[in-house]
């Protein structure tokens, strides 16, 4: 937290998360703008109750900013009980670049915490740019293996208690793993990216639609942790060899062609979509040790979205990085608040 400064929290809300093709084919509902606005209003109420008077937000051109501003015009004021919102002055492209720029700008502005509304892809984009600023994730995407399903009011309280210094970082923050992906071509040029939960190797040669869901196109799955309750490609590892998000190591899985694996594993790879996945073999990943991808051509999908193409002259390595970024442990914050009597001292507006 910044020294001798008023607490400042950033909110990055992806206005179009949970709208990709996976939700269409799986008959899953999409979160509407009004729902996202209501989530933000609950966050602003919780943050204000903790003493956070000012919040920075990412602008958009999908209508979230306009709808939120309309609500705030009616509710904001000395007795409204909501933190004041300031939208960043930045160009809006309606692409992931907006999230990169917003996270970077908020980091440079010195926010004490970042609250993120989105799925795995949105959180990955924020982590790429937020540095040491801890994040609190809210699940509003299609695949939500990283952000936990939680009431925004509680996440806002936890972020506010941390940002105002009531809960110390030793109690409030958790360390998280990630996967570092490196593609080196024959000339020695290197492309790098990250994944928070899973990096999937596909036999496909073109990125096309970014969302990934066709099992027959997949060659390998690498995960930083493996939760058997997860949705998405990491669910394959979670139902094969469970591994906690705060336990050391990761898992690498080689997939087989239909009918040629050791067995088929049924996994929920998208909401309402359970597929049989042919498993060839699997092994554990050790932190800091590069794992060379066997496939010579294909696509690397990061946290469910196709991102990087590679060819025969490229060498692809995936490395598990421990202690890669920090997050707000909402449950730990609220336990500390309860046992320390913080909520008895908290003056609600």
DSSP secondary structure of 177-190 = EEEEEEEE-TTS-E
- pTM value? 0.89
Rounded-to-integer distance, Cα 144 and Cα 271, Å: 10
pLDDT at 16: 73
Chain centre distance of CA 249:
19
pLDDT at 142: 63
Rounded-to-integer distance, Cα 49 and Cα 275, Å: 45
pLDDT in tens, 59-107: 998 889 999 999 888 765 545 689 999 999 999 999 999 999 999 999 9
The residue written with tokens 């923050």 in the block is 173
Q: Which domains does the chain have, with CATH numbers?
A: 8-175+324-345 (3.40.50), 178-323 (2.60.200)
Chain centre distance of CA 166:
25
Rounded-to-integer distance, Cα 129 and Cα 144, Å: 20
Over residues 28-55, the mean pLDDT reads 89
For residues 145 and 234, the answer to whether their CB atoms sit within 8 Å is yes
Over residues 252-278, the mean pLDDT reads 93
Res. 111: pLDDT tops 50: yes
Give the C-alpha distances (Å, rounded to integers) separating 322 from 117, 195, 237, 247. 24, 13, 18, 9
The residue written with tokens 């670049």 in the block is 97
């Amino acid at each position: 937290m910044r020294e001798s400064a008023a607490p400042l929290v950033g909110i990055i809300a992806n206005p179009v998360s949970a709208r990709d093709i996976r939700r269409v084919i799986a008959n899953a509902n999409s979160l509407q703008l009004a729902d996202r606005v209501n989530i933000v209003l609950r966050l602003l109420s919780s943050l204000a109750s903790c003493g956070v008077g000012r919040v920075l937000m990412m602008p958009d051109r999908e209508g979230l900013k306009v709808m939120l501003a309309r609500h705030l015009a009616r509710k904001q004021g000395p007795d409204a009980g909501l933190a004041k919102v300031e939208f960043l002055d930045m160009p809006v492209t309606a692409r992931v670049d907006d999230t990169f720029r917003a996270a970077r700008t908020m980091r440079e502005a010195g926010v004490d915490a970042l609250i993120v509304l989105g799925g795995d892809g949105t959180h990955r984009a924020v982590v790429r740019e937020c540095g040491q600023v801890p994040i609190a994730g809210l699940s509003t995407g299609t695949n939500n293996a990283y952000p936990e399903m939680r009431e925004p009011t509680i996440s806002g309280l936890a972020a506010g208690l941390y940002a105002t210094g009531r809960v110390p970082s030793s109690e409030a923050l958790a360390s998280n793993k990630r996967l570092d992906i490196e593609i080196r071509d024959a000339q020695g040029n290197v492309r790098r990216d990250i994944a928070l939960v899973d990096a999937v190797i596909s036999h496909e040669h073109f990125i096309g639609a970014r969302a990934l869901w066709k099992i027959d196109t997949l060659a390998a799955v690498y995960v930083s942790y493996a939760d058997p309750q997860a949705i998405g490609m990491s669910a394959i590892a979670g139902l094969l060899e469970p591994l906690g998000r705060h336990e050391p190591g990761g898992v690498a899985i080689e997939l087989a062609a239909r009918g040629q694996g050791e067995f088929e594993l049924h996994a929920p790879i998208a909401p309402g979509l359970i597929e049989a996945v042919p498993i060839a073999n699997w092994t554990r990943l050790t932190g800091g040790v590069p794992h060379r991808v066997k496939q010579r051509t294909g696509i690397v999908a990061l946290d469910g979205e196709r991102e990087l193409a590679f060819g025969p002259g490229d060498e692809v390595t995936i490395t598990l990085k421990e202690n890669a970024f920090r997050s707000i442990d909402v449950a730990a914050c609220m336990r500390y608040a309860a046992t320390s009597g913080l909520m008895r001292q908290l003056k609600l507006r």
